[in-house]
Structure 1
Amino acid sequence: MSTRSVPDVSALLADPIVKVGVAFAAVTAVLPFVLSQSMLSLVTLAIVYAILGIGVVVSIGYSGQLVISQAAFAGIGAYTFVKVTAAGLPSWGGVVIATVLTTLIAGLLGATALRATGIYLGIITLAFNELFVILLNLFPGFFGGDAGISSPNLTLGLAAVGVPEYVQHHWIAALAFIGVFLVVRRILDSPYGWAFRSLHEKQIVSQSIGINNAKMRVLAFVLNGAVVGFGGALYAPFVGYISPSLFNLHATIDIFIVAIVGGLTLLSGSLIGGVFVIFIPELLRGIQAYDNVLFGLLLIFFLIYLPDGIGGSVRDFVRERRQSSASAEEADD
């Protein structure tokens, strides 16, 4: 007679990732009842940026590829969502189509651009980002030009009748982040993640032990594109309109900052980075003459004194506390 193993709930709840996930879910459920509409909308936008930052964690933090086309991938997702939903496709179908199309374009770009490495790859992907913005401006009748185009809405439908749209946006963003986090974490904890990290360390060594470097580099590039394209598809309806200026190099830098501040090797750290990118400029809005300078100084501080980001510093602190507690317990025994 066979017996089924019963999951160890206490061990599961002891997992730091599970603790963070439970805390995140609890906070996002409560926030609509304690924050104003404008403040909650900023939190929603920060979560979307956290999703975009996960793409940077994959491309740079794990696989070590300098991809400077994050805003272009987000723009492809955003414009695809707007166009296909405006043509009559259901909004959630628009999110799927936008994510798939961005993934395919990322695959095509990756298959060609990844012949280069390092700064050369960065230049190629930067050129792609700039060409994307130029293309948007070349056809203002279709893409809206500098005036931009409005975006169809994205809601939970009948599942949330009577719930304000901005609250639905917040819940959708939170669920989307949890979904992206779990999927990407599962991939990075698999042999694929190990292969990505080996690319980051030493490609010659990884190839000598049987890893197909070209395949892994393209896969990392595609995963990055899929995550960022999905984030872009959410960004459009949550903001309400899109324009070429929202997807230029400055936007790519903002997405980079999300990952840098949160920690380039920490998926959960992108939440910290998202809050930083959205709320710090808001806090500095009262001193507009110096806000860019102060924002830049804060970024320099992180790069010099917190190279692993706030998330990395918190992780190291927790590890040290655990080691100290373990050592103290051993000494008492």
Structure 2
Amino acid sequence: MMAQLSQFRLKGLLILAIVIFAVPLFITNPFHYGLATQIALIAGAVVGLNLLVGFAGQISLGHAGFFGLGAYFSAITTSTYGWSAIPALVVGALGVAIIAWVVGRPILRLKGHYLSMATLAVGFIIAIILNNEREITGGPDGMPVVPFDVFGWELSPFGQYTLFGMEISGDLAWYLFAGVILLVAVWLAQNLIDSPIGRALRSVHGSEVAASVVGVNTAKYKSLVFVISAVYASVMGALYAHYQGFVTPAIAGFDFSIILITMVVLGGMGSTIGVIIGAVVLELLPQLLADFQDMEMVLFGLILMLTMIFMPKGLLPTAANLLAKRRKKSAGGDV
């Protein structure tokens, strides 16, 4: 069974890679490249959140706080103190990991709506700090961020680069970079899911009491996956800040936390590729509904509501179940 799941996840990773590298064949507009890059970076954070929500069964309504911490740490250290982007990203992720471990140990003892309120409070605290520390963060007005650099080589959406002898634009280069980062994030998540840690997380999701009875240290694994999901958010937040070239406290706000958790639920909790689809749908829907002006948010909410009513397990799991039923019915008819 585990071998079949591993093969299924490998196929999903290959399909994702094909889609990512095929997208440039269909778009040439810088705006569309920008949207695709943004989707890839946010989807990476959602993959990490899915480990916490979809596999460990722990809710987080303040995860944008960790996204914002990673973004601001990289922005401040590179733009104000002259750090290179890679050390800033790594040190920021380590700092977020420590914060998540310290915060997660007590709040993950809570369950249900108590846990939701606690994680929500963590997100609010981070957003308030980023808003109030004007001298460091720029306050509500935000702050500019220098381009992402790797050993002195700057990656900017406005530059021109050479890849395998071909001249490519900066927006395409950033999209390919973000796509590769997303693939790595998915690969790491899938390896974690198939490891003993992943099996422990699924047991915690199923029943913490039963998991404890068979020797699983539930507090340890819940804290561990909370830290891992926070690191995912921090890394993607840092990259997002460098790509946008500007960052504001809204990136750590409650609204963005709700968007992240909605992407997980919409795509299908426990489905790595599913949550990426959720991120794509939730990012593209406002663009597709923009022509409806005043009715945009009404239609947006209506679509999400109908999706949750008729596809409660999420987009990808529901589609997979329907396909499996059709195949089973077809096989039965052949017999």
Q: Tell me whether the two structures share a fold, i.e. TM-score over 0.5.
A: yes
The code of the aligned residue for 2:116 comes to: G
Does 1:46 pair with 2:51? no
The code of the aligned residue for 2:171 comes to: Y
| Residue deviations 1:236-295 (CA, integer Å, cap 9, x gap) | 112221101222110001111211111111011122111112111111222232222221
SS in 1 for 2:43: helix
| Residue deviations 1:193-215 (CA, integer Å, cap 9, x gap) | 11111111211111111111111
The code of the aligned residue for 1:262 comes to: G
Partners of 1:144 and 1:18 in 2: CA distance: 44
Partners of 1:34 and 1:93 in 2: CA distance: 35
Is the contact between residue 269 and residue 313 of structure 2 (CA under 8 Å) also seen in structure 1?
yes
Shift of residue 24 of structure 1? Answer: 2.6
Does 1:78 pair with 2:71? yes
Counterpart for residue 64 of structure 1:
57
Partners of 1:109 and 1:71 in 2: CA distance: 15
Partners of 1:272 and 1:293 in 2: CA distance: 22
Partners of 2:259 and 2:187 in 1: CA distance: 23
Bigger strand share: 2
Q: Superposition RMSD on alpha carbons, in Å?
A: 2.3
Counterpart for residue 30 of structure 1:
22
SS in 2 for 1:307: coil
The code of the aligned residue for 2:46 comes to: G
- Structure 2 unaligned residues grouped into runs of 5+: 156-160
Shift of residue 101 of structure 1? Answer: 1.8
The code of the aligned residue for 2:278 comes to: G
The code of the aligned residue for 2:32 comes to: M
Partners of 2:40 and 2:154 in 1: CA distance: 24
What is the identity percentage for the equivalent residue pairs of Structure 1 and Structure 2?
27
Q: 1:263 to 1:155 in 2, by over 3 A?
A: farther
Shift of residue 92 of structure 1? Answer: 2.2
Partners of 1:164 and 1:298 in 2: CA distance: 36
Partners of 2:107 and 2:295 in 1: CA distance: 38
Q: 1:318 to 1:95 in 2, by over 3 A?
A: farther
Q: TM-score normalised to the size of structure 2?
A: 0.88
Moved more, 148-157 or 115-124: 148-157
Q: 1:136 aligns with which of 123, 130, 136?
A: 130
Partners of 2:13 and 2:54 in 1: CA distance: 21
Partners of 1:197 and 1:254 in 2: CA distance: 24
Q: How many residues align?
A: 319
Shift of residue 95 of structure 1? Answer: 2.1
Counterpart for residue 149 of structure 1:
143
Counterpart for residue 289 of structure 2:
284
Equivalent residues in 2 for 1:1-333, closer than 5 Å: 15-35=7-27, 36-86=29-79, 87-154=81-148, 157=153, 160-161=161-162, 162-324=167-329, 327=332, 331=335
Moved more, 15-24 or 297-306: 15-24
Shift of residue 315 of structure 1? Answer: 2.0
Counterpart for residue 158 of structure 2:
none
Is the contact between residue 195 and residue 211 of structure 1 (CA under 8 Å) also seen in structure 2?
yes
